[in-house]
Structure 1
Amino acid sequence: MQSPTYLLKKKSAFLFFAFLFFTQLALAHTITGYVMDENGRPIKDVYVYHEPSGSHTHTNNKGFFKIDDVEEGDELMFTRLGYSAFAKAVTDESEVLQIVLSRSSVDLDAVNITNEVDILNTITEADLEINPVTSSQEVLRAVPGLFIGQHAGGGKAEQLFLRGFDIDHGTDVAISVDGMPANMVSHAHGQGYADLHFVIPETIENISYGKGSYDKSVGNFATAGHVDFRTKDFVRENIISAEIGDFNYQRFVGLVQVLDNQNTSAYLATEYLTFDGPFDSPQNFDRINLFGKLNHIADNGDELSVSVSRFDSEWDASGQIPQRAVDRGLIGRFGAIDDTEGGETSRTDVNLNYETSLSDNEKLSTHAYYSRYNFLLFSNFTFFLEDPINGDQIRQQESRDLAGVDAAYTYTTNLSDHQLDLTAGVRLRNDRTEGSELSRTLNRRSTLENIQLGDINETNTSAFIGATWYLNDFLIDAGLRFERFKFTYKDALTAQYDTQDQSESALLPKLNFNYKVSDDLQLYFKNGIGFHSNDTRVVLQQTADDILPLSYGSDLGAVWKPVDRLIVNTALWYLFLEQEFVYVGDAGIVEPSGETQRYGFDLGVRYQMTDHLFLDSNLNYAHARAINEPDGEDFIPLAPEWTATGGLSLRDYKGFNAGFRYRYIADRAANEDNSIVAEGYFVSDLNVNYDLTNNLRLGVAVQNLFDIEWNETQFATESRLSTEAESVEEIHFTPGTPFFIRGSLQYRF
């Protein structure tokens, strides 16, 4: 039997430790606060770290944060890319902290690997800070693994390549700006046509992207991936700049803040560009952009953004030329067979985003947009193959009204003491075109024959639900997306009035996992079913089963930070498609490709060598094949196999900023049996800027630094010249820009 003294001591010890435990609880508090910049604007996605416990959180769009179990005297650390780190000791648990962060040079040490923030998009944000985009081409090249090529004057949308896809102008990658879609469904030139020339590069704040069909909130066109460009809510300094270069290149940009206070900001931006290019027949490219944006954050944290833009351009083009014409000396590399190609395009946009907190646990985001779009393009790909007298020039044109609304609701709760985010969203988009046309023409003046002419009305309704569970170091994200399409076409070439229509739906599950192995390593496994959408004119020529062929994909990847200023990201991926119907707008025909599969890997490295010197590199491999074709005849034309981008950058060093950039694409099959090969290239660019004063910057930029001979875009095309009796199928190409230098002068105030 235990003595009374022993029992008394045991009871006293229990009471003592209980006292310490409850005292500890009493001393631990929930700390809240706001993080602002030097002008009082909220900063979101600031990493708030509590060192004693290792817990952390991030600020929301109001700059607000809340972190538990903090004792008096504990220190909180605040870090955000592009801002100086700040430490704050908690001295009064009842105080709502007001933290001010100062802008600073980029430091990759501030990039934190957590499940709450998409680390790959943070890396891209760092890339933009280090290498700001200054041209419409660089806008797209900022996405790792995304390759582009221009092949019909400066006004036509770029051709895109990603993960073993020749995406044409946007067929399999969803592109948006502030949530407003850039891809045009059932476009006169091809499904998904995405012309980003309406974006002024200097207005871009960051880029959000994802590869594969794993995001429950993204639908149409996101087969290979999706990209959303976000414009600035405000400008930190007004900018007026002028650039002049070879080939009559001139570009003028203005970016001016017109309203600026703690709650409301507004700015205007404009761009004018003219460029003849290196071609024997000048392309006479001329473009003007206007953009205005107002952003308001109410005292309760509700945020409203309204933007309006206008874009106009026109150009001439030398088109793609056949290799044999250059080899025979009929034309030079920058010559033309038909130099009457070219076009005009314009776009007017109104875009509204509104975000509100319904309660501490509920958030609602709403979005509405409208675009008025006009497109006119003259092309000649086959020269005299179809019409040996007049030639094969074609005209493609349309006028379009595009409107849409969407909303997303998020409810945050706990499941087994771990945060659970429940989300739901809906979206409605309607595209109506007038006079979608494909016609044979002569010299841009005479209409020889209407091949297709009609009006398109396409409606896409979608909804999604999802749950994201933050289970310690695990993140589980599950979602289900529903897509519904209605396609309507009024054919103007039929003798009797007839409206054709068809509808189809798809149900698309997603399941993703993140595992934070340590503060320096994150693993992820993403899975999802998407779809390859089709042009209205394709749909109405196919059975219902073929309207929305599905895609099945997976990514297994890692993000690793072995040392403070080195970040490595890797991914192995696989993608299977049931069908790839392609509407060839240049011919008005449908080309089915059957089942396809692609697999490969991505590798990215970011290394900050010193406070001012940065190294980055991306290497991408893709194996793309048609499944049901014989070996050796199963190549997917123009699908890139090996691509690489990267460079060396100098930032804020004694007034200097500079960058050396490279891009590489390997040889690839131009047709199904690889008998025609599109040659690869390695091209380097250089830019150097020097701040003459605090307000005045002088710059020089050089494209194709080593003046190599390269072909920017290439196609295996059957064509016939006016002097030939028989047609020939071979590479037709648009030559890449030779050594091209331009100077710039920028005034900031």
Structure 2
Amino acid sequence: MTLSIAFAFPAYSAGIPTLQEVIVSAEGKNLIGLADAASEGTITAKQLANRPLLRPAEVMEVIPGMVVTQHSGDGKANQYFLRGFNLDHGSDFSTHVMGMPINMVSHAHGQGYMDLNFVIPELISTVKYKKNVFDIGGGDFATSGSARIDYVKKLDTPFIDLSLGEHSYRRILAAGSTEVNGIQFLTGVEIAGNNGPWEQAEQLKKQNALFRISSGTTSNGYALTGMVYSADWLASEHVPERAIDSGEIGRYGTLSKNDGGKAHRYSLSADWAASQEATSTRANIYAIDYGLNLFSAPSGYMTGAQGDQHEQSDSRIVLGGSVYRIWDLAQDWSNTEITAGLQLRQDRIGKLGLYNTINRQRTKIVREDKITETTSGLFFDVKTQWTPWLRTSLGGRNDDIRAQVTPLDGIYNANNGGSVAARQFSGKLGGVFGPFNILGQTEFYANWGNGFHSNDARGATTRANPQYGSAVDPVPLIVKVKGSEVGLRAAAFPGWNTSVSLWKMQLASELVFIGDEGITEPRGASDRTGLEWSNYFTPAHGIIVDADLAISRARFKTDINGGRRVPNAVPLTASLGVTADNGGPWFGGLRLRYLGSYDLEETGTEKSQAYWLTNLKLGYRFNKQWQVTMDLLNAFDKKANDIEYWGGACTRQEIGTATCGSDGRLIHPVEPRTIRLGLKLSF
């Protein structure tokens, strides 16, 4: 078996197949002459096949330096960390799946909410990523980086995959494809459930399905894709560590009963591509029906024995699409390639609500709003090969955001709302020098650009605190970001590719809309710098080794709460992975991930616990039809925390005492050692 990596050039957030797709063997000098920056790449299905996963969104950890955790139930979007950013649920990282944007603007729980629980890892064909602000097609949220996930159009054989594990984990996935008169039909259906290790059983119920019709090639063809996803779950939120230390609850206990929620995502999308000798055109359209009802009590019992549970409700339709054209001007214009495109998106949010609740029953409307938010983006990119050792890219995009916020209900919400608009021009400039015969073959990269992430439209139109009626100042609709990077990529010898990047980013502000309170929390401007080292090595047939190290530093430009450290900005991550599959009966993978200690508050006095986590997959093929697998997750039963915060909370036993509401460590533990067994039948 020859492992291959696919590189596409160029790649845009429209998520449509690119003009050129180059497939190169991992045994060759395969990264030189294809990338525009040291910190971009493409991961293929073969690299994902033997990767042990606790949750679907952990496929994002194939991006070097990315860490995916959870601080609530498995139906809620994950917590993401990259390049000194606590991305929360996606506020500074843009993700598209088959051309459809996943980040939700003006979301009930958090700006840029990026729920990937509907992703089916076994059906992914590629994960293409770019870090920093250099993705010309990125647009909103593409500040620390962007990713585009695409699914396969066909499968070699239909299959049924059944998995069972501890804590009532069960999952069945059935998928297959067939060709009729040159048209491919692909279907995948997933049903899953899980209680988890929590004292309050999670009772996760997930239904997921994919239907795809496609024809032609990536250069000349089309695809129609329908997706259906729903989930219902109970959650064990993060809790004060002192509640565990005192014995009030167990390590996997919960303070607030009946937290959790339900979510759905139904979508229909279409992609089309047509190419001639010197031009190529791509277009896509999509429609998404999205809903979430999320019940949480992150502060416990600060308001009394009834608890602090609230509901965040989101119901919307997302419509959009994109089109772009590429002209290859060949040698008459110094081997120049020009791209121009247009992206449109509109979020029609029928009702966006925040409610006080007791046991999921609404007791008070804090605020209800109707929002229509429209985003348009025009972009261009010019790539030129000036000499055999110099190529450049020059691009820009203009984004326009317009929102109308209409208050529907809430005692102090009537005077909020209104129209708001903002515009941002983002320039990108990059140069690639080489290849030179240094360490085999080496290319050097230099990139600069600026981008943005949007703020919640409610934060830009709110003048009164919806909880208390006190005056607040509206915030800008757009937060500007500047980024720069230098790096190198080397193919020192056959089978080993290494890349190093030194980067810097500057954010105009760290304004965040706090969905738990319905207001915007102001923070200061910040600087981030870092160094990344990524390696991909195939020492023998069927063996893949990847190793990554990421170091970062995040600081506010002025003192905040007595310090300048950005809370939850992880300064050090590392990962090591080995997969083995030579086509014989045995196969498997081993992954080690390190999450360094990070500051919990601005002075740096309180810090999280650093830890290593180890996951293992082992499989055996009886024949071409039958195979079994075992996943051993958290193999050494590490007692660590998926997430740690610093803030105020109150346990049930603290009600009426001076400790109630005091600041302390809030934690959500890593799940204990878990075994899952799988049986796969291919037809």
Match of 1:522 among 439, 443, 447: 443
Q: For the structure 1 residues 427 and 264, does the alpha-carbon distance in structure 2 shift closer, same or farther, using more than 3 Å as the test?
A: same
- Offset of 1:516 from its aligned partner? 2.2
- Offset of 1:125 from its aligned partner? 3.0
Counting only pairs closer than 5 Å after superposition, residues 97-176 of structure 1 correspond to structure 2 as 107-109=26-28, 111-115=30-34, 124-125=43-44, 128=47, 131=50, 135-176=55-96
Q: Percent identity?
A: 25
- Offset of 1:606 from its aligned partner? 1.5
Give, in whole Å, the separation in 1 of the partners of 2:474 and 2:301: 37
Counting only pairs closer than 5 Å after superposition, residues 697-708 of structure 1 correspond to structure 2 as 697-708=627-638
1:594 matched to 2:515: no
1:537 aligns to what SS in structure 2? helix
Q: Deviations over 1:248-279 (max 9, x none)?
A: 11011111113256x42121001111100001
1:453 matched to 2:368: yes
The residue type equivalent to 1:732 in the other structure is L
1:668 aligns to what SS in structure 2? coil
The corresponding residue for 1:573 is 503
Q: TM-score when scaled to structure 1? A: 0.83
Give, in whole Å, the separation in 1 of the partners of 2:237 and 2:103: 23
The corresponding residue for 2:547 is 617
Give, in whole Å, the separation in 2 of the partners of 1:164 and 1:317: 27
Give, in whole Å, the separation in 2 of the partners of 1:671 and 1:289: 39
- Offset of 1:64 from its aligned partner? 9.2
Counting only pairs closer than 5 Å after superposition, residues 222-237 of structure 1 correspond to structure 2 as 222-237=142-157
Give, in whole Å, the separation in 1 of the partners of 2:109 and 2:8: 43
- Offset of 1:220 from its aligned partner? 0.4
The corresponding residue for 1:238 is 158
2:176 aligns to what SS in structure 1? strand
Q: Deviations over 1:580-620 (max 9, x none)?
A: 21001112121111210000011111221211322211110
Q: For the structure 1 residues 204 and 301, does the alpha-carbon distance in structure 2 shift closer, same or farther, using more than 3 Å as the test?
A: closer
Counting only pairs closer than 5 Å after superposition, residues 466-485 of structure 1 correspond to structure 2 as 466-471=381-386, 472-485=388-401
- Offset of 1:414 from its aligned partner? 3.8
The corresponding residue for 1:681 is 611
- Offset of 1:238 from its aligned partner? 1.4
- Offset of 1:632 from its aligned partner? 6.5
Q: Is the 8 A contact 1:538 1:581 kept in 2?
A: no
Give, in whole Å, the separation in 2 of the partners of 1:670 and 1:518: 44
The residue type equivalent to 1:728 in the other structure is S
Q: Is the 8 A contact 2:52 2:616 kept in 1?
A: no
Give, in whole Å, the separation in 2 of the partners of 1:456 and 1:577: 26
Give, in whole Å, the separation in 1 of the partners of 2:17 and 2:421: 39
Match of 1:347 among 265, 270, 275: 265
Give, in whole Å, the separation in 2 of the partners of 1:733 and 1:562: 43
Counting only pairs closer than 5 Å after superposition, residues 395-406 of structure 1 correspond to structure 2 as 395-406=311-322
Q: Is the 8 A contact 1:463 1:482 kept in 2?
A: yes
Match of 2:324 among 408, 412, 423: 408
Give, in whole Å, the separation in 2 of the partners of 1:535 and 1:574: 26
2:58 aligns to what SS in structure 1? helix
2:122 aligns to what SS in structure 1? helix
- Offset of 1:547 from its aligned partner? 2.5
RMSD: 2.6
- Offset of 1:231 from its aligned partner? 0.8
The residue type equivalent to 1:175 in the other structure is T
Q: For the structure 1 residues 122 and 249, does the alpha-carbon distance in structure 2 shift closer, same or farther, using more than 3 Å as the test?
A: same
1:538 matched to 2:455: no
Give, in whole Å, the separation in 2 of the partners of 1:736 and 1:702: 14
Q: Which moved more, 1:669-678 or 1:581-590?
A: 669-678
Q: Is the 8 A contact 2:449 2:482 kept in 1?
A: yes
1:380 matched to 2:297: yes
- Offset of 1:526 from its aligned partner? 1.2
The corresponding residue for 2:203 is 284
Q: For the structure 1 residues 170 and 61, does the alpha-carbon distance in structure 2 shift closer, same or farther, using more than 3 Å as the test?
A: closer
Q: Which moved more, 1:520-529 or 1:718-727?
A: 718-727
1:128 aligns to what SS in structure 2? helix
1:334 matched to 2:252: yes
1:425 matched to 2:341: yes
1:661 matched to 2:661: no
The residue type equivalent to 2:631 in the other structure is A
2:409 aligns to what SS in structure 1? coil
- Offset of 1:314 from its aligned partner? 0.4
Q: Is the 8 A contact 2:6 2:44 kept in 1?
A: no
- Offset of 1:514 from its aligned partner? 1.3
- Offset of 1:671 from its aligned partner? 1.1
Structure 2 residues without counterparts, runs of 5 or longer: 10-15, 464-472
Give, in whole Å, the separation in 2 of the partners of 1:638 and 1:61: 36
The residue type equivalent to 2:170 in the other structure is Q
The corresponding residue for 1:639 is 569
Q: Deviations over 1:30-86 (max 9, x none)?
A: xxxxxxxxxxxxx98699xxxxxxxxxxxx979999xxxxxxxxxxxxx9446xxxx
Match of 2:238 among 320, 323, 327: 320
Q: Is the 8 A contact 2:48 2:59 kept in 1?
A: no
Q: TM-score when scaled to structure 2? A: 0.91
Q: Is the 8 A contact 2:575 2:592 kept in 1?
A: yes
Match of 1:211 among 124, 131, 151: 131
Match of 1:559 among 489, 510, 520: 489
1:362 matched to 2:302: no
Give, in whole Å, the separation in 1 of the partners of 2:124 and 2:584: 26
- Offset of 1:683 from its aligned partner? 0.5
- Offset of 1:654 from its aligned partner? 2.9
- Offset of 1:711 from its aligned partner? 0.6
The corresponding residue for 1:12 is none
Question: How many residues are matched?
Answer: 654
- Offset of 1:198 from its aligned partner? 1.6
Give, in whole Å, the separation in 2 of the partners of 1:172 and 1:715: 19
Give, in whole Å, the separation in 2 of the partners of 1:595 and 1:127: 41
Rg (Cα) greater in structure:
1
Q: Is the 8 A contact 2:568 2:645 kept in 1?
A: yes
Match of 2:97 among 177, 189, 192: 177
The residue type equivalent to 2:196 in the other structure is G
Which has the bigger relative contact order, CA under 8 A and spacing at least 6? 2
The corresponding residue for 1:730 is 664
